[in-house]
């Protein structure tokens, strides 16, 4: 009997600050409907864990928070692998990549494959290092400085001038208008995400996102570029329209080549009148809107899974300008017993999808 293809995926929340994992699962199931999905979560209330009829996952396991370190993560991953025998891993959160890169050689010994950037590439695109990368490569970007203490950060802020953004190295960004606000947000972000904290020049214009997949040999395998139409309060794209912009494509290829990037990426740009595209961020994973290009012929998560399985590359269609997406919210129904089991045991096995569909039909 053939071993089922089993993929472990993180980042399953689809709420007001959506994570990519649920969209990655949905994209992969478009080409591989029979795969088993093991959901790896840091929070028992991630909405995608209970999205049985939309993103159905087969098993759910809680992970230790990234701050616990790679050794604790490896111990947990070995336990999960012993129970699930997953062959592929798709990390979908910025804050976990360092730990997963550290333990990846051990996961490979278990037969697990993933498409990850190198540690060097991951560090190059870190928010605290991206400004220096842009300067060395003559890539336009906003003024950005990082510091481990509030006094140094305040000096950088005075150099930039208010208003400006205060950012965590992984998540959270706030527009502040004074040193008092800067100090308040420094403390709040540092308590959750640690240091360094960043200050960044506040520039305003149209926001562009490019999602893609790179093979580590300076090649972008496929990509899709959008202009954001709707944003959440956290700056997440809640609606977007495909654009075809040759200069944007060239910028992306220049960045990926310079970083020798391998795996998924999302590159964010800002466009202001009479200025080139400014590089804003390079995120080391698929974005939450990744299922949009998958629906119009550019299914990057499924393509990545195919490459990891050793399949011949299939054609990725070019996304046509003018196609757009708008995110849509739904209320999910689950039973409190699922949350109770996940919270107490740190794991649960979901009902089979076929049985769940048959129950609805009745």
The CATH number assigned to the domain holding 151 equals 3.30.1490.20
- Our count of domains for the chain comes to 3
Give this prediction's pTM.
0.90
From 160, 183, 201, the end of a domain falls on 201
**Is 183 in the same domain as 216?**
no
**Is 150 in the same domain as 70?**
no
**Is 314 in the same domain as 208?**
yes
Q: Rounded to an integer, what distance in angstroms lies between the CA atom of residue 104 and that of residue 341?
A: 29
pLDDT digits (tens, 9 = 90+) for 235-275: 677 899 999 999 999 999 999 999 999 999 999 999 988 88
Quickly state the pLDDT bin for 223 (edges 50, 70, 90). Answer: very high
Q: CB-based contacts of 101: which residues, under 8 Å, 6+ apart?
A: 116, 117, 119, 122
For residues 179 and 155, is the Cβ–Cβ distance under 8 A? no
CA distances from 87 to 6, 72, 82, 190, 290 (A): 6, 20, 11, 36, 22
pLDDT digits (tens, 9 = 90+) for 288-300: 999 999 999 999 9
Tokens of 34: 């029979």
CATH of residue 338 = 3.40.50.20
Domain hosting residue 165, numbered range:
143-201
Taking alpha carbons only, the member of 199, 170, 205 closest to residue 185 is 199
Quickly state the pLDDT bin for 287 (edges 50, 70, 90). Answer: very high
Q: Rounded to an integer, what distance in angstroms lies between the CA atom of residue 201 and that of residue 130?
A: 14
Total residues found in the chain within this entry: 362
pLDDT tops 80 at residue 54: no
**Strand 6-10 relative to strand 88-90: parallel, antiparallel, unpaired?**
parallel
**Is 191 in the same domain as 240?**
no
């Amino acid at each position: 009997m053939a071993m089922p293809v089993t993929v472990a995926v993180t980042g399953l929340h689809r709420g007001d600050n959506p994570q990519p994992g649920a969209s990655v699962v949905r994209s992969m199931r478009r080409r591989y409907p029979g795969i088993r999905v093991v959901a790896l979560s840091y929070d028992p209330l991630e909405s995608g864990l209970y999205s049985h009829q939309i993103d159905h996952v087969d098993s759910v396991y809680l992970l230790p928070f990234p701050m616990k370190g790679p050794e604790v993560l490896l111990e947990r991953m070995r336990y999960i692998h012993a129970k699930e025998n997953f062959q592929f891993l798709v990390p979908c959160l910025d804050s976990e990549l360092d730990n997963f890169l550290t333990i990846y050689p051990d996961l490979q010994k278990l037969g697990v494959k993933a498409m990850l950037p190198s540690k060097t590439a991951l560090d190059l695109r870190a928010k605290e290092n991206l400004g220096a990368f842009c300067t060395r490569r003559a890539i336009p970007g906003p003024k950005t400085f990082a510091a481990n203490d509030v006094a140094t950060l305040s000096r950088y802020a005075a150099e930039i001038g208010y208003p400006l953004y205060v950012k965590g190295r992984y998540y959270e960004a706030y527009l502040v208008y004074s040193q008092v606000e800067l100090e308040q947000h420094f403390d709040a972000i540092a308590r959750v995400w640690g240091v360094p904290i960043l200050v960044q020049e506040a520039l305003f214009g149209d926001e562009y996102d490019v999602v893609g997949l790179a093979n580590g040999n300076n090649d972008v395998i496929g990509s899709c570029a959008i202009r954001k139409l709707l944003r959440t309060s956290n700056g997440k794209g809640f609606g977007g329209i495909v654009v075809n912009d040759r200069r944007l494509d060239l910028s992306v290829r220049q960045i990926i080549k310079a970083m020798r990037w391998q795996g998924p990426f999302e590159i964010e740009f800002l466009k202001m009148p009479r200025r080139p595209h400014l590089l804003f961020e390079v995120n080391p994973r698929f974005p939450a809107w990744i299922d949009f290009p998958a629906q119009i012929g550019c299914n990057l998560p499924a393509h990545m899974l195919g490459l990891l399985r050793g399949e011949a590359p299939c054609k990725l269609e070019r996304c046509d300008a003018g196609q757009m997406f708008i995110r849509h919210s739904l209320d999910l129904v689950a039973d409190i017993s699922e949350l109770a089991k996940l919270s107490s045991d740190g794991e649960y096995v979901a009902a089979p999808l076929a049985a769940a569909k048959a129950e609805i039909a009745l």
